[in-house]
Amino acid sequence: MDGWEGIEEFVAVARTGSFIAGAASLGVSRTHMSRALARLEDRLGAQLLHRTTRRVLLSPTGQTFLDHCIRLVQERDEAVALIRDQGEPRGDLRITCCVALGERFIAPVARQFAKQHRQLTVYLDVTDRTIDLVAEGYDLGVRTGNLPSSDLIAAKIASRRSRTCAAPAYLERMGTPEKIADLNEHDCLTGTTLQWHFSEKGDEILYRPRPVWSCNNGYAVLEAARDGMGICQLPNFYLNDAVQSGQLVPILEEFAPPEEPIWSVYPDKRHLSPKVQRFVAALKGTLPKAMARPD
């Protein structure tokens, strides 16, 4: 018996909500659909659909199974298209990235990518939770810094630099720190990063500030620094405008940390997928310029 039997039929019925519409979408008869679904449920030993006189509903088992079946069908179609050298991205592209990068940089790239590839549906999950790409069915993640050891494929797509800054009014009131240890005597403003990064004579130095204000939103930390509440360390894309306008002053520049890499990471089975290849290329072509410090 064909291991694929019933999979595509199940997806079609689940998506359209009826056997008749599902059969029409595949160009087969309603009888074929019913028999294929019945045999699939027999093989699984589980009921996937609740059938009523008016509509078809997914069982809890069917809902769980559906997500896997959709990806199976999409990956089959992508593999066939790749071999045929058609290569047009199609199906779903599921991306995850942190909030700081996602809202300002990744979302515009993903939006433009969706406009260019009309056979593709792009899902962007902006969250600071570290998502298991394989277990949760994501095609691609965007991550920063040193990556933990894993089976994921990583490609560097850009880098970002952080600076330590404070408002002129704060520095006039509290003085300007000359050494990293001087931060112990200052008011610090922190975000999601618990440790600040510095570098001295090529060695990385980690400093754990004791904040007077902390928020998991970089713009809120930026506004606190502008308001003269204390010293912050943030990526340049938060700080550039405020530094250029004189609202913030960079400090401890001789101890500035090296650039932090930004990676695209994806499961190894996705590396030949046209949608992943092209989106990674779009990120590489867009992010470095978007995140560059203005002249």
pLDDT attached to residue 283:
94
Residues 260-291 as b/e (b if ≥16 CB within 10 A, e otherwise) read ebbbbbbbeebeebbbbbbbbebbeebbeeeb
Residues present in the chain in total: 295
**CATH value at residue 143:** 3.40.190.10
CA-wise closest residue to 194 among 149, 145, 156: 145
Same domain, 22 and 141: no
Q: Inform me whether the pLDDT recorded for 162 exceeds 60.
A: yes
Same domain, 66 and 183: no
pLDDT attached to residue 81:
62
Residues 10-31 as b/e (b if ≥16 CB within 10 A, e otherwise) read bbbbbebebbeebbeebeeeee
Is residue 1, in this structure, part of any structural domain at all?
A: no
Q: 262 vs 55, which has greater pLDDT?
A: 262
Same domain, 143 and 270: yes
**CATH value at residue 59:** 1.10.10.10
Same domain, 174 and 242: yes
Is residue 31, in this structure, part of any structural domain at all?
A: yes
Q: Contact, 138 vs 96, CB < 8 A? A: yes
Helix residue ranges, H only, 49-136: 60-83, 99-101, 107-116
Q: Contact, 93 vs 119, CB < 8 A? A: no
Residue with tokens 């005597």: 185
Same domain, 49 and 79: yes
What is the span of the domain harbouring residue 239? 162-255
CA-wise closest residue to 277 among 89, 16, 41: 89
**255-269 pLDDT, tens per residue?**
999 888 999 998 876
Domain count, the chain: 3
**103-117 pLDDT, tens per residue?**
889 999 999 999 999
Same domain, 169 and 248: yes
Which residue type occupies 109? Answer: V
pTM, two decimal places? 0.66
